[in-house]
Chains A and B, each alone.
Chain A
């Protein structure tokens, strides 16, 4: 046990470990890695990177699991959407990508020895999280994408729609931060 403790104490001070796992990457490093991986995901899956659309599919699969049927819902009515749903949870590249983000984030925080279950400070936080999540998810479906699919991937595909999305994202963020300072300060 002592040897194990000594090993980890030594590792915590190791320069390479601290640099790679502990210290946050710079914005530039992050941007370069994102650029590389979005090209990889585009090449491998044949579709641009997106996040929130997959969550809608997760919802549809959950609904099917309890006996529901979304075939007649306008959002899922296209042949393409039906094909994705019929292929199933484990045959969906978007699902794999999102699971990768979730478990990757967990792995990163564990490797940095920074995992912590945070306490909920107030009821306000719960209300804001649920309400904010609902508005973001609903808005992302209305916009056919979130800040990844409709902004990042759109701009990377040289689509004008990405820039339009960016403009309204800033307007939304402006009013969002006003609400934040009103209710949380």
Chain B
């Protein structure tokens, strides 16, 4: 049940998604990854990908144009 963070601030698509996919593959079931993004299209493609994998996803708007995508590796 460990918590990991991934800083993708300042990265343009599709780099945040690619980094998230890679990081998620290293996590164990039950772990949580918090991805920081400031590229609005990553707010669409990261949750879309994660939901397709069957993971739990939550998006939080932390500041103007800045989000945290919280992904729980459920399986």
- Select one of A24, A120, A125, A185 contacting B40, CB under 8 A: A24
A181 is an interface residue with CB less than 8 A from chain B: yes
Most chain A CB inside 10 Å of its own CB: which residue of B43, B65, B66: B65
B15 is an interface residue with CB less than 8 A from chain A: yes
Find the A residue at minimum CB distance from B63.
A116
- Select one of A109, A113, A119 contacting B9, CB under 8 A: A119
B65 near A109: Cβ-Cβ < 8 Å: yes
Q: How far is the CB of B44 from chain A (nearest CB, A)?
A: 6
B10 near A185: Cβ-Cβ < 8 Å: no
A115 is an interface residue with CB less than 8 A from chain B: yes
Residues of B within 8 A of A115 (CB): 64-65
Interface residues in B, total, Cβ within 8 A: 18
A116 near B18: Cβ-Cβ < 8 Å: no
A180 is an interface residue with CB less than 8 A from chain B: yes
Residues of A within 8 A of B66 (CB): 116
What 0/1 readout, one digit per residue, does chain A (113-135) give for beta carbons within 8 Å of chain B?
11110111100010000000000
Cα separation A120 to B11 with both chains bound (whole Å): 8
B65 near A119: Cβ-Cβ < 8 Å: no
Cα separation A177 to B11 with both chains bound (whole Å): 15
Find the B residue at minimum CB distance from A119.
B10
Most chain A CB inside 10 Å of its own CB: which residue of B39, B63, B64, B66: B64
A184 is an interface residue with CB less than 8 A from chain B: yes
Q: How far is the CB of A77 from chain B (nearest CB, A)?
A: 37
Q: Assuming the A-B contacts A24-B44, A119-B9, A120-B10, are A114 and B65 also in contact, with contact meaning beta carbons closer than 8 angstroms in the complex?
A: yes
Q: Assuming the A-B contacts A114-B65, A116-B66, are A121 and B10 also in contact, with contact meaning beta carbons closer than 8 angstroms in the complex?
A: yes
- In the complex, 28 of the A-B residue pairs with CB atoms within 8 angstroms, ordered by the A residue number, are A24-B40, A24-B41, A24-B43, A24-B44, A113-B64, A114-B40, A115-B65, A116-B38, A116-B63, A116-B64, A118-B9, A118-B10, A118-B38, A119-B9, A119-B10, A120-B10, A121-B9, A121-B10, A121-B11, A125-B10, A177-B14, A180-B14, A184-B11, A184-B15, A184-B18, A185-B15, A185-B19, A185-B22
Interface residues of B (CB under 8 A from A): 9-11, 14-15, 18-19, 22, 38-41, 43-44, 63-66
